[in-house]
Structure 1
Amino acid sequence: MPSATAKVAGNVIASSDKFQTVEGNIYFPPDSIDQAMLSPSDTHTTCPWKGQASYYNITVNGQVLKDAAWYYPAPKEKAFHIKDHVAFYANKVNVVVA
C-alpha cells in the first residue's frame, strides 16, 4: 500500500498510508497531521460538491505559509469521506506518494 508524506523545508507535517485522493489532491487523515505546525486561518472557500473549506497557516522554522492547507469540517454527503482530512497546496508543501 502506498504512503503519502507532506513536508516543508524537510519537516514532516503529515504522513499516512490511509490518505484519500480527490481531484488530484492528497487528503491526510486528522490523526496523521502534526497539529503543532498548523494554526487556523480566517479564510474560507466553497466548493459546489464538497461544501465549505476552512484553511490552516503552516509555520516552519519561523516562516508562516498563509493558507497552505485546507480541510472540510462539515462536507456535503459526496465528500463525507474527507471530513477533517487535510490537503496541502503543492506550491507551498511537498507532497510525495511512494
Structure 2
Amino acid sequence: MPKAIWNGAVLAQSDRCELVEGNYYFPPESLNRTYFKESQTHTTCGWKGVASYYTLEVDGKVNPDAAWYYPIPKEAAKNITGYIAFWKGVRVEPA
C-alpha cells in the first residue's frame, strides 16, 4: 500500500491512489491532517487545471507547499479531484 513519509511521519497511506505523470495522488481521507496546513499558493497545469497547496509541519519542521491537489480539475483529470500528491523531499513508497 503506497504511503507518503516526511520527517519520520506517515502523512498519507492508501491502496486507492491514482498514478498520474509518475506521481501518486492519495485520496483525501487517507491524510493524517495533523501535519497539513492550507497554503495560499496556486499554480496552473494546462490539462489538470488550478492546483492548491498544503504546507507540511512535523515536529516543528516546516516544508512549504510540499503537497498539492486539484479541488476542481479539468475534465481530463476528474479522477484526481481532491486527491493529494507530494514533492519537496516527501518520500512516497509505492507498496
Tell me whether the two structures share a fold, i.e. TM-score over 0.5: yes
Runs of 4+ displaced beyond 4 Å? none
For the residues of structure 2 that align with 1:37 and 1:83, how far apart are their CA atoms?
A: 21
Task: Give the equivalent residue in structure 2 for 1:70.
Answer: 68
Deviation at 1:59, TM superposition (A): 0.2
Are 1:40 and 2:41 counterparts?
no
Structure 1: gaps (5+ residues): none
Backbone CA RMSD of aligned residues: 0.7
For the residues of structure 2 that align with 1:92 and 1:9, how far apart are their CA atoms?
A: 9
For the residues of structure 2 that align with 1:9 and 1:48, how far apart are their CA atoms?
A: 32
For the residues of structure 1 that align with 2:33 and 2:46, how far apart are their CA atoms?
A: 28
**What is the TM-score of this pair, normalised by structure 1?**
0.94
Deviation at 1:92, TM superposition (A): 1.8
For the residues of structure 2 that align with 1:40 and 1:8, how far apart are their CA atoms?
A: 17
Are 1:97 and 2:94 counterparts?
yes
Are 1:50 and 2:48 counterparts?
yes
Deviation at 1:96, TM superposition (A): 0.4
From 21, 24, 41, the equivalent of 1:23 is: 21
One-letter code of the match for 2:36? L
For the residues of structure 1 that align with 2:34 and 2:9, how far apart are their CA atoms?
A: 12
For the residues of structure 1 that align with 2:38 and 2:29, how far apart are their CA atoms?
A: 17
Task: Give the equivalent residue in structure 1 for 2:78.
Answer: 80
3-state DSSP class of the match of 1:74?
coil
Q: Percent identity?
A: 51
**What is the TM-score of this pair, normalised by structure 2?**
0.97
